[in-house]
Amino acid sequence: MQKDRLKIFILTRGDAGRLLELLSESDLVEIVGVYVEKARTPQRSFKQKIVRSIKYDGYFETFKKFFGKVFGKQSDGEKELKAVQDKQKSLDSLAEKLEIPLYHVDKYHSKVTKETLKNLNADLGILYGTNIIRKSVFEIPRLGSINIHQGLAPLYRGGPTVFWELFNGEKEIGITVHFVAPKVDTGDLILQKTLPLEYDFEKYGLNYDDFLSDFRTTLKEPSSQMMAEAVEQIAKGEEQRTKQDISIGKRYRIPTKKEKDELARILKKRLERRQLVGNESNKTKTNSANFKNKMKA
């Protein structure tokens, strides 16, 4: 007699396309609902926007941003909103193709949404690229919920991913699948892996923003694969839970302008050391070549 399939629901901003493809191939899993929260920009007063922009981007960028707004230039926030909306449209099409029920909701934590989630009678919830989800939602499924975190928990909790690892001079970056707990990225670990992190000075110079964007793109496939593997393990009852020691590591947050400038200085020093080592190596090779030529003479 075949065992009942694990019923799961997925909460996502729109990045879960590859995960849907992987999970739809499993005979052990039934996706009973994908929930996509309406994409929106945070509602802040003009003063709050100015203060926040200065804190995270500095005075000059704030001036450019709001000066450009006067002349109708699209802001970074508007670009990000458009990108999220495009991802959600793409996810809609994929879910329809795979015949997976997908629902657009105003808010995950609204009374209406929570009631519909309860009515699914899901065994497991999956958080895939959401903002912080409260206990009243992530504890709805029978087994609770699991989350993908691009960071090596508990050493790196929160985010943004890659920035702080690069800032701290790490040679690797982690990806973690864990059960969800009230504090950010602190639940029991299920799966972890590390990938090499090496800044490409030849390609990016000191333009680390492009490096961060490109590197984060490379994490999408392994993240989807790991989450699908974790779900399969839970469906089979074979997952290994490891309690986190949150006395080590820390929760990281969005870097301020000061911290961004510090990363630029750190990378500049690393580049200078790299060039110095290269020059010394070339000098050694030249001296060695000269010595060999003299010996031949």
Determine if the pTM surpasses 0.95.
no
In the three-class reduction of DSSP (H, G, I as helix; E, B as strand; rest coil), residue 166 is classed as helix
pLDDT mean across residues, the chain:
91
**Residue 1 pLDDT level (bands cut at 50, 70, 90):** very low
* pLDDT (0 to 100) of residue 81: 85
CB contact at 8 A, 184 and 213: no
Other C-beta atoms within 10 Å of 249: how many? 18
pLDDT digits (tens, 9 = 90+) for 225-255: 999 999 999 999 999 999 999 999 999 999 9
CA 69, 41, 163 angle in degrees (round to 5)? 90
| Res. 2: pLDDT tops 90 | no
* pLDDT (0 to 100) of residue 71: 63
pLDDT digits (tens, 9 = 90+) for 75-113: 777 888 888 999 999 999 999 999 999 999 999 999 999
HSE (CB half, 13 Å, CA atoms) of 212?
A: 17
Contacts of 54 (CB under 8 A, 6+ apart): 62, 257
What is the side-by-side order of every strand in the sheet holding 102-105?
102-105, 29-37, 6-12, 124-128, 145-149, 172-179, 189-196
pLDDT digits (tens, 9 = 90+) for 263-296: 999 999 999 998 887 666 555 555 555 545 555 5
pLDDT digits (tens, 9 = 90+) for 27-84: 999 999 999 999 888 888 888 888 998 999 998 888 887 777 666 677 777 888 888 9
* pLDDT (0 to 100) of residue 288: 53
Q: Is the dihedral of CA 89, 130, 135, 148 positive or negative?
A: positive
Other C-beta atoms within 10 Å of 186: how many? 19
